[in-house]
Structure 1
Amino acid sequence: MAEQHKSASEPSAAKMRKRISEEGLMPLLEHLGELRRRIFYSLIVLLVGLGIGLYFAKPLYLFVIEDGPMKGVDLHTFSLWDGIGMYMKFAFLIALVLVLPFVFFQLWSFIKPGLSEKEQRATLKYIPFALVLFLMGLSFSYFVIAPMAYEFTTSVSRSLGLIETYGVMQYITFLFNILIPISLLFELPLVIMFLTKLRVLNPLRLRKMRRIAYFVMIFIGTVITPPDVISDILVSIPLLVLYEVSIFLSGNVYKKQLAADAAWEKEYEQFDNE
């Protein structure tokens, strides 16, 4: 009798496990489908941005050549593809400026169902600042770091008696290797605030990571600048300040979260006492 009961219960237990597995799998598949949809939208906007960027690539190129670090220097082409490559690099930069706020909005839309209405409004306010911070990083790297790097490299070449003959793609690649990383690093405060609002990070954890973060910032500042102490310091200090600003902003968000949690617990205790 017991054996019959056991054999009868085994299929039902198996069905239950299968049902639980399917119920857990369906939300995961739905989330993956939603993420894929958000990525697809971002790629569409990136392609549109590339189209717009191709239209404005030449005016931007002329501005960089006429007013950039290598103003007055003759640039040469060493490949039939150099002109096309130059167009694509400037188009990508313009597309990145256009798509960045949209990517942050898609990220916000993806995690929106898991946020309260108050958290949704709070995190949505961060999105416009993505473009502002990126443009600030772009300006800093273009007007401060790039001229400094160019002056150092050309001074070394001249001290060696080398004849300066620059290719347009070499120059643009040199410039973009400085502009893009620094501009993206300027998004750090926004990302830190966003993750703090989601309770992924907090200022306590960021302070514990300070040594590692400082090492990474100084390493990045050393890599993207000429190998002299002055340049390294001039670039590393703003990056370190950027991290400290991120900790400060994270602290503000974290204090509000603690205050909200304390208010909720107090309200819950009053309700429980009644």
Structure 2
Amino acid sequence: MALDQLHEGDEKEMGFLDHLEELRWHLVRSVVSIVVFTVLAFLAKDFFWDVLVMGPTNSDFWTYRKLCELGQLVGSSSLCIDDMNIIIQNRTLQGQFLVHIKSSFVAGLVLAFPYTFWEIWRFVKPGLRNNEKKASRGVVWVVTLLFLLGVFFGYFVVTPLSINFLYNYTLSDQIQNILDVTNILGTVATLSLACGLMFQLPVASYMLSKAGIITPELMKRFRRHAIVVILIISAIITPPDIMSQILIAMPLTLLYEISIFISKRVNKKRDQELYES
């Protein structure tokens, strides 16, 4: 009897070690994909730095041109940005090289995200029940799509508006804004990645609703609080005009409403399953 229990313990231990080994290879493949895309971004320095990172600092950036066109339609010249005049400097000997590596790594994270999440999902999926697998069908595509939409929104909307406002904000005419190259990279990377994660709100709503942590009634009760928070965030990260704040607040509010709808569907389906059982 003791021998049988020992064998059972060995099998459980080997099963646990097998899971660790499987997780290790999923992580290894994920890291390799990030490294590969990082190297590709490092080699394509002119595009990833001059076009992408430095893009929001130029007055001919796509967002600024579209804002100017919108301003012409509504008769507001304040939306047109003619000349940014941003001065960027490097203050350390190794600064530009380190920034090159950091910017390539950020690009590698974004480009490798779909594959990395797919690897993580491949590890998690076998441990789910059949109904959970069915309910989470297509999750890789949804998470990837929302992440990329968030990154694009952060890069083309939040980042240029924030750079324009913060760079032109002055305490005194005697103070000149001269940006460090690391600060530009940090602003572009942080805002873009933060929006990519923020756009996962519908997915988070779905998972929390499945777990019974949140309900649509709870989200509706705090809707006004959420809208106030969204407006405050929009006012902080955008120039002081109502049009820019609306451009930021509308997608975030829409995401919150979508999350309420998702939570409602999840709770309705769960109640129906409990009633049938």
TM-score after normalising by structure 2: 0.69
Query: What letter corresponds to residue 107 of structure 1 in structure 2?
Result: I
- The aligned counterpart of 1:29 is 17
Change (3 A) 1:43 1:143: same
- Mapping for residues 235-254 of structure 1, pairs under 5 Å: 235=248, 238-239=251-252, 241-254=254-267
Partner of 2:73: none
Could you say if the C-alpha distance between residues 31 and 18 of structure 1 is closer, same or farther in structure 2, counting changes exceeding 3 Å? same
Q: Which has the higher helix share?
A: 1
Secondary structure, in 3 states, of the residue corresponding to 1:68? helix
Q: Which has the higher contact order (CA 8 A, sep 6+)?
A: 2
**Following the alignment from structure 2 to structure 1, what is the Cα–Cα distance between the partners of residues 205 and 181?**
37
2:236 and 2:112 mapped to 1: Cα distance? Answer: 25
Alpha-carbon deviation of 1:176? 1.8
Matched residue, 1:58? 46
- CA deviation vs aligned residue, 1:16-51 (integer Å, no higher than 9, x gap): 654554454343333222222211111111111111
Query: What is aligned with 1:161?
Result: 174
2:185 to 161, 169, 172: 172
Q: CA 1:60 to 1:163, structure 2 compared with 1: closer, same or farther past 3 Å?
A: same
Q: SS of 1:75's equivalent?
A: strand
Q: 1:47 to 1:240 in 2, by over 3 A?
A: same
Identity %: 26
Letter in 2 for 1:225: I
Q: Which has the larger radius of gyration?
A: 1
Q: Does 1:41 align with 2:41?
A: no
Which among 149, 156, 159 is matched to residue 162 of structure 2? Answer: 149
2:150 maps to a residue whose letter is G
Matches within 5 A, 1:128-207: 128-157=141-170, 159-193=172-206, 199-200=210-211, 203-204=214-215, 207=218
User: For structure 2, which runs of at least 5 residues remain unmatched after alignment?
Assistant: 60-84
How far the C-alpha of 1:174 sits from its partner, in A, is: 2.3
Equivalent position of 1:268 in the other structure:
none
Q: Which amino acid aligns with 1:98?
A: L
**Distance change (3 Å), C-alpha of 1:169 and 1:220:** farther
Q: 2: distance between equivalents of 1:48 and 1:67?
A: 24
Q: Does 1:95 align with 2:83?
A: no
Distance in 2 (CA, whole Å) between partners of 1:84 and 1:27 is: 45
Does structure 2 retain, via aligned residues, the 8 Å contact 1:141–1:179? yes
Shift of 1:59: 0.8
Contact 1:146-1:178 at 8 Å conserved across structures: yes
Seen in structure 2, the aligned counterparts of structure 1 residues 74 and 115 have a Cα distance that, compared at 3 Å, is same
TM-superposition CA deviations, 1:208-233 (whole Å, max 9, x none): 7985x959x76994898379897888
Alignment gaps of 5+ in structure 1: 1-11, 266-274
How big is the alpha-carbon RMSD for the aligned residues of Structure 1 and Structure 2? 4.1
Whole-Å separation in 2 of the counterparts to 1:42 and 1:140: 25
Shift, 1:177, TM fit: 2.2
Which amino acid in 2 is paired with 1:204? T
Partner of 1:225: 237
For 1:219 and 1:103, how far apart are their aligned partners in 2? 33
Contact 1:100-1:130 within 8 A present in 2 as well: no
Q: Return the offset for 1:202.
A: 6.1
